[in-house]
Chain A
Amino acid sequence: MTRFLAVSNRKGGVGKSTISVMLAHAAAAWGRQRVLLMDLDTQCNASLMLLGGEGWEKASRAGRTIADYFYDRFDNVAGDEAVYIVNNVGDVAHPRTAPGRVSLLAGSQQLEDIQGELYLKQSKKDLHADAVALLVRSRMKRLMRHFGMDCDLVILDCPPGLSLAAHAALDMADHIVVPFRPDFVSQFALDRVALLIERVENAEQLASIPFAERRYACLPNCLTGVGHERLLIEQIALDHPLLATRLPVLDSIARAFDWDEGKKTMEQKYADALPHLRKLHAEVFAGTQRRAKSA
């Protein structure tokens, strides 16, 4: 059964795209999974990491992006979904016989405009604004789920903020990783995204949901080892489930996402970040399996 894993936080610059791509590589290489990364962020960083600038531009010109997919298929236009996907992306080499691979539904800078257009199209039906938003989101959810047929794992790289596509992704994901930098404002961002994921209205209602039953787990990222990071992580752990993995600031992680055409092994690509990635992969993979079983 296909699992849907979202990587989300309303706050920008917390490492969502980097972690999405790391997990995609790890799941394909070590989990031998067929992975599809769906880039819902109009910054398209994950697409640039996996295709490079020229590859992404080529996909955009060919109409092979998430915005094209939503726009073309919104009204049930028949056709082959596979035409929107770019296969075997990224610069990690997989043996020919290995089933694992990473495919990409590339991001688009037009996605926000397309969402607005789809919303306006639906609002002609005299529906209340909330109902229109719900309709667009439901349709987007169905369109996203459609890709699950040919994959073991779909990773949804969500944008910062709350677009209709981000809402749809959070609604449908089996498990959500919420990366954060341990700073003061991150606490607020985590509280808010948690309310949204668990579909509750305030901190009290959220507190009534046991950690084990929550769909999300928070991932401390970009740690530098200063004392107040520890302080904030301890405070955040009172309200939110945290992964045991802690990702430090490492040059090897930053370098891993400079686009390079040459294929590498995971060891070459991630260097001293490899142990952290192994731990993250094991932990997230266990989390998605647990969610899939409980569902």
Chain B
Amino acid sequence: MDIEVIKPGLATSVQDAGRPGYYNIGIPLSGALDQYALCAANLLVGNEARAAVLEATLLGPELAFRAPAIIAVTGAEAAPKVNGEARPLNESFAVRADDRLTFDFMKVGARIYIAVAGGIDVPPVLGSRSTYALGALGGFAGRKLAAGDVLPVGKATAGGRAGRALAGDLVPTYPKSLELRVLTGLYFHRLTDEAARTFFEDTWTVAPEADRIGYRYRKGHALAFRERKQPFGAGSDPSNIVDAGYPYGSIQVPGGLEPIILHRDAVSGGGYAMIGTVISADMDRIAQMQPNNLARFVQVDMDAALKARAEYKGRIARMSAALR
């Protein structure tokens, strides 16, 4: 049971729940940027929540199925079509041998997740099937998909059936303008008082340079760092520090110009001061922002971050129960 890639879309790759444990040698977590949508797609087709799926960015792929399968599409609003006929989002459906799956443009949201009952069965590398393209590691041949690739599909369990759907508030929405909650810290104290204020007051626009490594934001005020004699080993710009590890979700502002939030294919460290970190509960929301979408940063404390995390986990638990 295989799937042939007719057109790869803009950036489509195999992703699962990720590859923790190797960040100390520069191999990042990887995995689906929107973990809620990954979980939903898998549960809809009867897979375990962490199975490997296809993640497509902004423009979906065209796929040909060589055998019948149960599939589901979650994430961004991009109506799936089978041989040109519309199919629902957030609901499992059947495809037959030789069926073609295509997508409309993503109207809202930036990433779709295509799960197949049985999961995409590329060989696991370091415990994960996720693609880390910068290191040519995992996924399909260590890279994003290309026309002519043939993807192996695993053996489906008995649980997969058509017509299973997400309902009510379990269906995610992706606003074009949103708030991202930030725990300040790290090198936040290096910002001037004014920069510390405008960072949270300004509305920021997602730049075209937004990918699995990081999301760049622009159109806010430049952020000045306090002048100082730079410590030995740090670069000469006031936004430089002695190269250090970057947390996932951390925000750096090279040269004080445009904030970059690192995501799951993060560069693991470097010499730019991080001024805070987006809380874990909001990382999926970044994944669904298109270029030109708007964000405001909202300062929260650890208690609020943990409460948001509990709500996020609670929602996944409710989804798991509803789709069991």
A in complex with B: no
